[in-house]
Amino acid sequence: MNIKGKLVEIFDTVQITETFKKREFIIQDNKNPEYPEFIKVELIQDKVELLNSLNVGDEINVLINIKGRKWEDKEGNIKYFNSIQGWKIESESGNMNQENEQENINQDSDDDLPF
């Protein structure tokens, strides 16, 4: 799945535990320009760096997974949580994230092969 739109806000990376970090951002989806949607997407672990070369206002395409969790509290009440996790960001504004830059470097080096 993917979401296309304008990057409207970037939050700082948050270290949740010693081994887990996440970063959130807001993308404005304008499929219906009269009623724009503001969608919060989270990046986890090494994916938090995907936003480093992007700026608020950039047009982006975010590849996402929708995650769902079940949690039971101490009283036995069950709650469900959903999250939207991004795993790749493609810039529509001409900027490239670090993952795309690495892909381009790898593709360029493949052209030098003699076969």
C-alpha gyration radius of the chain: 17
DSSP code of residue 19: T
The pLDDT score that the predictor gives to residue 104 is: 45
Q: Count of H helices and E strands in the chain?
A: 1, 6
The pLDDT score that the predictor gives to residue 112 is: 52
Q: What is the pLDDT of residues 13-33, one digit of tens each?
A: 999 999 999 999 999 998 888
The pLDDT score that the predictor gives to residue 38 is: 97
Q: What is the CATH number of domain 2-110?
A: 2.40.50.140
For the entire predicted model, the pTM comes to 0.74
| Segments of the chain scoring below 50 in pLDDT | 97-109, 113, 115
The pLDDT score that the predictor gives to residue 106 is: 44
